[in-house]
Amino acid sequence: MLFKNFCKLFISCLICWQIAAPTSTALIQSKYYSYRQPSFDGTGKYYMGREIAQVMGHQGAGWLERPDRATEEQPQKMVAALGLKSTDVVADIGAGTGYISQLIARQVPQGKVLAVDVQPEMVELLKQRIKNSKITNIQPQLGTEQSPKLPPASIDLAIMVDAYHEFSYPREMMTEIVNALQPGGRVVLTEYRGEDPKVNIKPRHKTTQKQIQQEMKAVGLKLLKNESVLPQQHLFFFGKS
Ligand SMILES: C[S@@+](CC[C@H](N)C(=O)[O-])C[C@H]1O[C@@H](n2cnc3c(N)ncnc32)[C@H](O)[C@@H]1O
């Protein structure tokens, strides 16, 4: 009887340990990613020392369309800084409702914007936006977590506005994005400044220049400039090294 109880206790301790252990240390290590207990706005998945943020669900689409966004973030300044040619083909990856795609589309009347998102609901909202406007040069596209589905050497510029830190497979996504660049093509990232405590955004949704630079270097990109024109966000320009 005593032995039976001891065995029961031993087995329950073993089960408890198996459940508790992964929360304290790195659980699984894959080629690029490791996994730990998620923080409050994180996924628990780590890439090059950064915890990947949770994806902003389509239920939050209203936030992307908030009326004071234009004054808070000044996206017009960002679009002006891109220096686009009227014939450029731009991939807006993590396009959400197409708020930014629409601003860019006006600058490339003979080109086009490929507006890619991973959530079918966001792509639907984007289609509604196009239907309700007279825009003809935005092409909505459903991507996957690992691929924006862009053909090789097909784009002049890839832009990710407040989206990169949510990619659950950043290495795979960026490798494909780099392959999709035409010769001389550029990658632009707009990210809330992680170095600035006054930027009132959830921590995992902010990034630092140091971190982004090392992640881009890993896929063969070098920093061309970080334009300081936006009130809360970095505006990084990268090209192939
Ligand atoms: C915070 S929203 C920003 C939307 C838009 N760029 C804007 O500024 O209005 C981030 C978007 O990235 C999308 N996203 C996350 N991971 C993605 C991936 N791997 N490929 C494409 N889109 C992704 C999400 O579905 C979401 O719509």
Q: Contact 47/172 with Cβ under 8 angstroms? A: no
Atom of ligand 1 nearest to the CA of 145: 19
Provide the pLDDT for residue 30.
86
How many angstroms separate the alpha carbon of residue 110 from the centre of ligand 1? 25
Instruction: Spell out a b/e string for 23-56, using b for 16 or more CB atoms within 10 Å of the CB, else e.
Output: eeeeeeeeeebbebeeeeebbbbbbeebbbbbbb
- Find the residues whose C-beta lies inside 6 A of ligand 1: 55-56, 64, 93-96, 99-100, 116-119, 122, 143, 145, 161-163, 166-167, 173
pLDDT in tens, 51-98: 999 999 999 999 999 999 999 999 999 999 999 999 999 999 999 999
Provide the pLDDT for residue 84.
98
66, 119, 202: which to mutate for ligand 1, most atoms within 8 A of CB?
Answer: 119
Would the pLDDT of 162 be above 80?
yes
Rounded CA gap, 160 and 139, in Å?
16
43, 52, 117, 175: which to mutate for ligand 1, most atoms within 8 A of CB?
Answer: 117
How many angstroms separate the alpha carbon of residue 225 from the centre of ligand 1? 23
Question: What amino acid occupies position 26?
Answer: A
How many angstroms separate the alpha carbon of residue 41 from the centre of ligand 1? 15
Please indicate, yes or no, whether the overall pTM of this predicted structure exceeds 0.85.
yes
Q: Which pLDDT band, with edges at 50, 70 and 90, does 218 fall under?
A: very high
Rounded CA gap, 113 and 100, in Å?
10
| Ramachandran angles phi, psi of 101, nearest 5° | -55, -40
Provide the pLDDT for residue 11.
42
Segment 194-198 mean pLDDT: 98
The three-state (H, E, C) secondary structure of the chain, written as one string = CHHHHHHHHHHHHHHHHHHHHHHHCCCCECCCEEECCCCCCEEEEEECCEEEECCCCHHHHHHHCCCCHHHHHCHHHHHHHCCCCCCCEEEEECCCCCHHHHHHHCCCCCCEEEEEECCHHHHHHHHHHHHCCCCCCEEEEECCCCCCCCCCCCEEEEEEECCHHHCCCHHHHHHHHHHHEEEEEEEEEEEEECCCCCCCCCHHHEECHHHHHHHHHCCCEEEEEECCCCCCEEEEEEEEC
How many angstroms separate the alpha carbon of residue 161 from the centre of ligand 1? 8
Provide the pLDDT for residue 4.
56
Provide the pLDDT for residue 32.
97
How many angstroms separate the alpha carbon of residue 59 from the centre of ligand 1? 13
Rounded CA gap, 171 and 48, in Å?
10
**What does the CA dihedral 191, 234, 150, 156 come to, rounded to 10 degrees?**
160
Provide the pLDDT for residue 27.
58
Q: Which pLDDT band, with edges at 50, 70 and 90, does 12 fall under?
A: very low
Provide the pLDDT for residue 19.
35
Provide the pLDDT for residue 14.
38
All structural domains of the chain with their residue ranges: 56-240
Q: For the chain, what is the largest distance between any 2 Cα atoms, rounded to a whole number of angstroms?
A: 84
Rounded CA gap, 93 and 89, in Å?
13
Which residues neighbour 213 within 8 Å (Cβ) at sequence distance 6 or greater?
223
Instruction: Select the more confidently predicted residue: 1 or 204.
Output: 204
Rounded CA gap, 124 and 141, in Å?
10
Instruction: For domain 56-240, give the fold.
Output: Rossmann fold (3.40.50)
Q: What percent of the chain has pLDDT over 70?
A: 88
Provide the pLDDT for residue 134.
87
How many angstroms separate the alpha carbon of residue 201 from the centre of ligand 1? 16
Provide the pLDDT for residue 17.
35
Q: Which pLDDT band, with edges at 50, 70 and 90, does 40 fall under?
A: very high
Provide the pLDDT for residue 29.
74
Residue nearest (by alpha carbon) to ligand 1 atom 13: 94
